[in-house]
Amino acid sequence: MARVGLTKERLTLAGAELADEVGFDKVTVSALARRFGVKDASLYSHVRNSQDLKTRIALLALAELADRVAAALAGRSGKDALAAFADAYRDYAREHPGRYAAAQLELDAETALASAAGKHSAMTRAILRGYDLAEPDQTDAIRLLGSTFHGYVTLEQAGAFGHTARDSQTSWTRILDALDALLRNWPTT
């Protein structure tokens, strides 16, 4: 019996690929074992359980996404940064729907701290440097941006924007324009 060479890392990566192919919720220990041509039980030397596997995939996705966003953001500011951030986000979700869904997995406090989640919020805050917003408006604006991007990407993935004449790419661009205008002219209370 030739060994296949399983490791945490290979399982996590294969799990992420599987998620992109069939959906994150269909990533299962047995499906992954099947993919490697080994028995289910063999995976348990490498991951604690199904939840552990999913968490690892989620952390992988968060890290990948953070890297992409960081690269996109480098050297940009103002609306350029806003668009780069948003596009990095959306592109990742479109290229890797399963991984994106994985990144949405709610992590326990400890795991979240060890994840790239902190990096994400720092980067979101960085976008606003190009706009003149003080606290607490800044926090509100961050929440608005995060909500809008996440919501758009989720709804787009669910096919919500595919059934009308207006194509999704155009709406996306116009929404970025609108958000930019809003940030430049944030209403005071």
Partner DNA sequence: TTATTTGCCTAATACTCCTAGGTATCTTAG
Partner DNA sequence: CTAAGATACCTAGGAGTATTAGGCAAATAA
By CB under 8 A, what part of segment 127-186 binds its own copies? 136-137, 139-141, 143-144, 146-152, 154-155, 158-161, 164, 166, 170-171, 174-175, 177-178, 181-182, 185-186
Q: Which is nearer to its own copies, 129 or 184 (CB)?
A: 184
Residue type, 171: S
Question: What is the smallest separation between the CB atom of 13 and DNA, expressed in angstroms?
Answer: 14
Q: Which helix (H) or strand (E) holds 153?
A: helix 137-157
Indicate which of DNA, its own copies, none lies near residue 132 (CB less than 5 to 8 Å, by partner kind). none
| Contact between 35 and DNA per CB under 7 A | no
Give whole-number Cα distances, 137 to 2, 80, 88, in Å: 60, 21, 24
Question: What is the smallest separation between the CB atom of 75 and its own copies, expressed in angstroms?
Answer: 25
Which DSSP state fits 189?
-
CA atoms of 123 and 43, how far apart (whole Å):
36
CA atoms of 21 and 54, how far apart (whole Å):
15
CA atoms of 153 and 96, how far apart (whole Å):
12
| Contact between 111 and DNA per CB under 7 A | no
Indicate which of its own copies, DNA, none lies near residue 87 (CB less than 5 to 8 Å, by partner kind). none
3-state SS assignment for residue 47: coil
CA atoms of 146 and 165, how far apart (whole Å):
27
Indicate which of DNA, its own copies, none lies near residue 185 (CB less than 5 to 8 Å, by partner kind). its own copies
Indicate which of its own copies, DNA, none lies near residue 158 (CB less than 5 to 8 Å, by partner kind). its own copies
Question: What is the smallest separation between the CB atom of 58 and its own copies, expressed in angstroms?
Answer: 12
Closest CA to 168 of 68, 87, 97, 110: 87
CA atoms of 141 and 182, how far apart (whole Å):
9
3-state SS assignment for residue 3: coil
Query: Interface with its own copies by CB under 8 A: which residues?
Result: 25, 104, 106, 136-137, 139-141, 143-144, 146-152, 154-155, 158-161, 164, 166, 170-171, 174-175, 177-178, 181-182, 185-187, 189
Query: Interface with DNA by CB under 7 A: which residues?
Result: 1-6, 28-31, 37-42, 44-46, 48-51
